[in-house]
Amino acid sequence: MLSSNLRQLHRLGRGAVNMFSTDAKQFPEAKRRFIPSQGTYPHGFFAGGSHCGIKKNGKADLALLVSDRPTTTSAVFTTNQFCAAPVQYDRSVINGARDAQEQRVRAVVINSGCANAVTGQQGLADAREMGEAGAAFVRMFDKERGVEHEGGEALVMSTGVIGQRLPLSKITDGVTAMQVDETHEAWMRAAVAHMTTDTFPKLLSRQVDIAGQPIHLAGITKGAGMIHPNMATLLGTVCTDASVPQSLLDKALAHAVARSFNAISIDGDMSTNDTIAVIANGASGVVVDEGAAYEQFTNALTEFMADLASLVVRDGEGATKFLTIEVTGARSFTDAKQVASTIATSSLVKTAFYGQDANWGRILCAVGYAGVALDTNKVNMAIYPGDNSDPLVLVKGGEPLLPVDEARASEILKQEDMRVRVELGLGSEEARMYTCDLSHDYVSINADYRS
């Protein structure tokens, strides 16, 4: 935590720091169980959030994450060809550090309310200036701590309305005036500042052991709509105090994102701004190298990111159900993922779950047109309730089990959490997708998004 004198210095700046509440009571009661009241955060990382004036409603719209030392950073980005200016800028920063074999990234500046997407060369210049504001904050941060400045580039992330320029002076003034520290409250402020149509802040932290030594992970993500996997989805940053070489961090992130943020879908739309970054500063002193330590780190990162990504699905615009689509017995992970994705993105499947209708034929139909060769006589399918009671088996060996137990189906479909399991019977590979139902409210939210 910053000393009281240092914290006072962080209150100084060209603009006033606008405070806001992080009290969970302001968020929907049904979502409060997903909002942490405390956390365990990686050493050497500082966080903060504020309202700088992007959002007209006065809500938080600017977040800052800072490391007290240079980091190794990896990221995956949207494959949308209209990728936003922040994506282009961040890609150049990370690739530049990778090519130079240097640790350059020290901070991430995130704004909500304006995406800085489809804004041409001016948008790219704005993203660069936003990054420079973050780098300037790092210089001030080092000076106030009385330490020698060790480089410091900043990544930038933007989310909100597409096709509008950033109010750049508000952002740069807000960055200069930002208060950061290591507390749970500070991390919560950063998480709240990520929100657009989100109904609750998405923050997760935990301690895990690598080779018998503790490291820490903390992640913030945002998203409720325009969520569909293709190399990355939405915005998210994971910070860790492990020391991880660039090549291993790149490999671990690729593995983890394929099983987490690339395994969620809400509406089938891929954003122009999708970015997931992992930042490792080594402050724990624990070094991840080839072998068992790498496997442990990759598994821990994958599980952590899957849990973080699940929060996005739980906040899907208008969503009332959280659905895990599990496909097993595939010839390859790719095949299993393709079948699971096809089910997860079917509007007919999603609306059936919203209507609590055991229309299992829609699921089997999606399996059939997924583009994966099947032996239909080997397919089994069942729906598992979230309360871990007995599943409803619907198909066995390609044959429907009729008549369907409609009373049991009704009991299961009333629950918020459900798991659809499809067994292909062709191999040993499996994959999961996480999705939600599709409701009337989704249309209402997106019909008047700009207003």
Kindly tell me if the per-residue pLDDT of 136 is higher than 50: yes
Average pLDDT over residues 198-208: 96
Mean pLDDT of the 357-381 span: 96
Mean pLDDT of 179-206: 96
Q: In Å, how far are 41, 299, 412 from 210, measured between CA atoms?
A: 16, 10, 39
CB 317 within 8 A of CB 267: yes
Cα(145)–Cα(46) distance, integer angstroms: 13
pLDDT in tens, 162-177: 889 999 999 999 999 9
Question: How much is the mean pLDDT over the chain?
Answer: 90
DSSP track, 153-200:
EEEEEEEEETT----HHHHHHHHHH---BSSHHHHHHHHHHT-SS-SS
For the residues 260-274, what does the mean pLDDT come to?
A: 68
Query: β-strands 62-67, 45-50: how paired?
Result: antiparallel
**pTM recorded for the entire structure:** 0.86
Q: Supply the residues annotated as catalytic.
A: 233
pLDDT higher than 60, residue 299: yes
Q: Does 432 have pLDDT greater than 90?
A: yes
For the packed helices 333-344 and 360-368, what is the interaxial angle rounded to 10 degrees?
Answer: 140
The pLDDT, as a whole number, for residue 311 is 93
Helical (H) or strand (E) element with 407: helix 406-413
Question: What's the one-letter identity of residue 306?
Answer: A
| pLDDT for position 183 | 97
pLDDT of residue 92: 97
Per-residue model confidence as pLDDT tens digits over 388-416 = 999 999 999 999 999 999 999 999 999 99
Asked whether residue 349 carries a pLDDT value surpassing 90, the answer given is yes
Q: What angle do CA 284, 290, 297 make, to 5 degrees?
A: 50
For the segment 257-274, the average pLDDT, to the nearest whole number, is: 72
Q: How many CB atoms lie within 10 A of CB 438?
A: 27
Q: Dump strand ranges (E) for 225-286.
A: 235-240, 264-265, 275-280
User: pLDDT tier at 7 (50, 70, 90 boundaries)?
Assistant: very low
More confident residue, 261 or 254: 254
Per-residue confidence at 13, pLDDT binned at 50, 70, 90? Answer: very low
Query: Is 282 in a helix, a strand, or coil?
Result: coil
Q: In this predicted structure, what is the pLDDT of residue 122?
A: 96
Whether 215 shows a pLDDT value over 60: the answer reads: yes
Which pLDDT band holds residue 273 (cuts at 50, 70, 90)?
low
Per-residue confidence band for 85, with pLDDT thresholds at 50, 70 and 90? very high
pLDDT band of residue 450 (cuts 50, 70, 90) is low
CA distance 89 to 128: 7
- What pLDDT sits at residue 288? 98
Predicted pLDDT of residue 80: 74
Count Cα atoms within 13 angstroms, Cβ side, for 204.
Answer: 20
How confident is the model at residue 295, as a pLDDT? 98
Q: What is the CA radius of gyration of the chain?
A: 22
